[in-house]
A and B are shown apart, each in its own frame.
Chain A
Amino acid sequence: MTRFSALSLFTKALGGHKGWEQQWPDAQPKPSYDAIIVGGGGHGLGAAYYLARKYGITRVAVIEKGWIGGGNTGRNTTIIRSNYLYDESAHLYDHAVKLWDGLSQELNYNTMYSKRGVMMLAHNVHDVQSFKRHIHANRLNGVDNEWLTPDEAKEYCPPLSIDPNARYPVLGAALQRRGGTARHDTVAWGYARAAAALGVDIIQNCAVTDIRRGPDGAVEGVETTRGFIGAKKIGVSAAGNTSVIMKMAGLDFPLESYPLQALVSEPIKPVFPCVVMSNTVHAYMSQSDKGELVIGAGTDQYVSYSQRGALHIIEHTLASICEIFPIFRRMRMLRSWGGVVDVTPDRSPILGKTPVRGLYVNCGWGTGGFKATPGAADLLAYTIARDEPHRINAPFNLDRFRNGRLIDEAAAAAVAH
């Protein structure tokens, strides 16, 4: 596989961009592997890459029921930040943000990670108190986060309305300057290409239908729509479908799957310099490099696997956007879509071992999994390779729902995040 470089781009451009080789082969399943990752999103592909790159397990297959990056990796609003309240969360998300730095170089694939800053708006006294508490907690954990007055917020993001008579007045904002966005597709493709180069098989259009377990209870492999594939270690990174996969191994999980919608506007000239989140009114916005405003909504209220949500959710979000950014009132929306997010009771992920020997899980990222992609992938790979969790993901075990050691970011944020 040839490496991408300025020279290779330039010479291929001279040839009309013809002659680019296939970036990774469309692998066919082999009878067995040392490890199988179920789910070909960024998290799963990344886990396969780190297994091969860092932890020396190269006989790995990624099994995806659809096409890679076609699930939540391709359906999110690409926000990256790590300003979470609790120590465990701050360490987990900051591990990911540190890996985002340098990921393009490591993968030789431009993930377009842009540290344009994530600004979270405070609209009421509760927001102000909660965000300031987050800022203090973050700084104690070495995570950058700072308080902005309304005028400073306006200076950082000029389209913002700070009119004190607005429907959602801006009383201030928390800004994480290291936060930002990345290009979602390139994350999946970059990991896939780099993993395949290390010998990982990436198998698409192959749905797992059962998990086979031996007489001792340990996993022996997976039944799929393309036959049985053996492996002593299986990592499940299946987002909204995790409950379904886990039931195949006889496990009931503390997860519920909800539709989460996003939409983009028609493309316009660069006007929006950062990411703005308003948790209180469920509106999240940035501008893509193509010029579209990328807007995220809240989840629908009911459990669903339909990958679509109701229009009134989007209307609610757009009404808020129009109040906060009156400049966009006459923008037209181009496309909307939904993903299925797996939500835990404490809104923190589950990342570690399961009661079934040889079965590992990375799930429960809810509405905020994209930002964690490199970190979750690395920690899942570590846990699979060592058969024990890394100290960063150890607190995010399944046992916490039994022993009560919850990491309650839901209560900390009081909203989806």
Chain B
Amino acid sequence: MFLIDCPYCEERRPENEFAYAGEAHIARPLDPSALSDAEWETYLFIRANPRGRHNERWRHIHGCGRFFNAVRDTVTDKFECTYKAGEARR
């Protein structure tokens, strides 16, 4: 089980307080009706799924309830850092 640093609570808590919420920094289209089918496909379905460094969202669902982002290595499962939602990609 992971120990995850919540950047809002500033506490290290066990993984079962958190819900994983997929790849981070996937921006919702500002003008959905202008998107082509290929752009919809990319937005909805295409994921980086890297072997290595991964920017991902977590939610401290049994804590402060807030979404934040993390960088984790998908081979070692080690967290590099966590940072608040809205901050630039690390």
Residues of chain A at the chain B interface (Cβ within 8 Å): 241, 243-244, 252-257, 301-306, 308, 310-312, 345, 401-404
In the bound complex, how far is the Cα of B41 from the Cα of A256, in angstroms? 15
19 examples of A-B residue contacts, CB within 8 angstroms: A243-B49, A243-B51, A254-B41, A254-B46, A254-B47, A256-B22, A256-B49, A302-B56, A303-B23, A303-B74, A304-B75, A306-B74, A306-B75, A308-B77, A345-B45, A401-B45, A402-B37, A402-B41, A403-B37
Q: Judging by beta carbons under 8 Å apart, are B19 and A301 in contact?
A: yes
CB nearest to A257 among chain B residues: B49
Determine the chain A residues whose CB is within 8 A of the CB of B41 once the complex forms. Answer: 254, 401-402
Cross-chain contact of B1 among A252, A310, A401 (Cβ < 8 A): A310
Q: Judging by beta carbons under 8 Å apart, are A311 and B1 in contact?
A: yes
Q: Judging by beta carbons under 8 Å apart, are A302 and B47 in contact?
A: no
Residues of chain B at the chain A interface (Cβ within 8 Å): 1-2, 15-16, 19-20, 22-23, 37-38, 40-42, 44-51, 54, 56, 72, 74-77
Q: Judging by beta carbons under 8 Å apart, are B20 and A255 in contact?
A: no
Cross-chain contact of A305 among B45, B48, B74 (Cβ < 8 A): B74
Q: Smallest distance from the beta carbon of A371 to chain B beta carbons, Å?
A: 24
Known: A243-B51, A345-B44, A401-B41. 15 other contacts (CB 8 A): A243-B47, A252-B48, A253-B46, A256-B22, A302-B56, A304-B75, A306-B74, A306-B75, A310-B2, A311-B1, A312-B15, A345-B45, A401-B44, A402-B40, A404-B37
Determine the chain B residues whose CB is within 8 A of the CB of A308 once the complex forms. Answer: 77
Best-surrounded residue of A255, A256, A305, A312 (most CB of chain B within 10 A)? A305
Determine the chain B residues whose CB is within 8 A of the CB of A252 once the complex forms. Answer: 42, 46, 48
Cross-chain contact of B38 among A253, A254, A345, A402 (Cβ < 8 A): A402
Determine the chain B residues whose CB is within 8 A of the CB of A401 once the complex forms. Answer: 41, 44-46
In the bound complex, how far is the Cα of B50 from the Cα of A244, in angstroms? 7
Determine the chain B residues whose CB is within 8 A of the CB of A241 once the complex forms. Answer: 51
Determine the chain B residues whose CB is within 8 A of the CB of A243 once the complex forms. Answer: 47-51
Determine the chain A residues whose CB is within 8 A of the CB of B74 once the complex forms. Answer: 257, 303-306
Q: Given A241-B51, A253-B46, A254-B41, is A310 in contact with B75 using a C-beta cutoff of 8 Å?
A: no
Q: Smallest distance from the beta carbon of A238 to chain B beta carbons, Å?
A: 11
Determine the chain A residues whose CB is within 8 A of the CB of B23 once the complex forms. Answer: 256, 303
Q: Smallest distance from the beta carbon of A117 to chain B beta carbons, Å?
A: 35
Q: Smallest distance from the beta carbon of B36 to chain A beta carbons, Å?
A: 9
In the bound complex, how far is the Cα of B16 from the Cα of A312, in angstroms? 8
Determine the chain A residues whose CB is within 8 A of the CB of B22 once the complex forms. Answer: 256
In the bound complex, how far is the Cα of B4 from the Cα of A302, in angstroms? 13
Q: Judging by beta carbons under 8 Å apart, are A305 and B20 in contact?
A: no
In the bound complex, how far is the Cα of B51 from the Cα of A353, in angstroms? 24
Determine the chain B residues whose CB is within 8 A of the CB of A312 once the complex forms. Answer: 1, 15-16
Cross-chain contact of A244 among B15, B47, B51 (Cβ < 8 A): B51
Cross-chain contact of A254 among B45, B56, B76 (Cβ < 8 A): B45
Q: Smallest distance from the beta carbon of B24 to chain A beta carbons, Å?
A: 11
In the bound complex, how far is the Cα of B42 from the Cα of A253, in angstroms? 9
Determine the chain B residues whose CB is within 8 A of the CB of A244 once the complex forms. Answer: 50-51
Closest CB pairs A-B (n = 10): A254-B45, A243-B49, A301-B20, A402-B41, A302-B20, A401-B45, A310-B1, A252-B46, A345-B45, A244-B51
Q: Judging by beta carbons under 8 Å apart, are B16 and A303 in contact?
A: no
Cross-chain contact of A306 among B48, B50, B77 (Cβ < 8 A): B77
Q: Smallest distance from the beta carbon of B73 to chain A beta carbons, Å?
A: 9
CB nearest to A241 among chain B residues: B51
Q: Smallest distance from the beta carbon of A167 to chain B beta carbons, Å?
A: 19
Determine the chain B residues whose CB is within 8 A of the CB of A345 once the complex forms. Answer: 44-45
Determine the chain A residues whose CB is within 8 A of the CB of B38 once the complex forms. Answer: 402
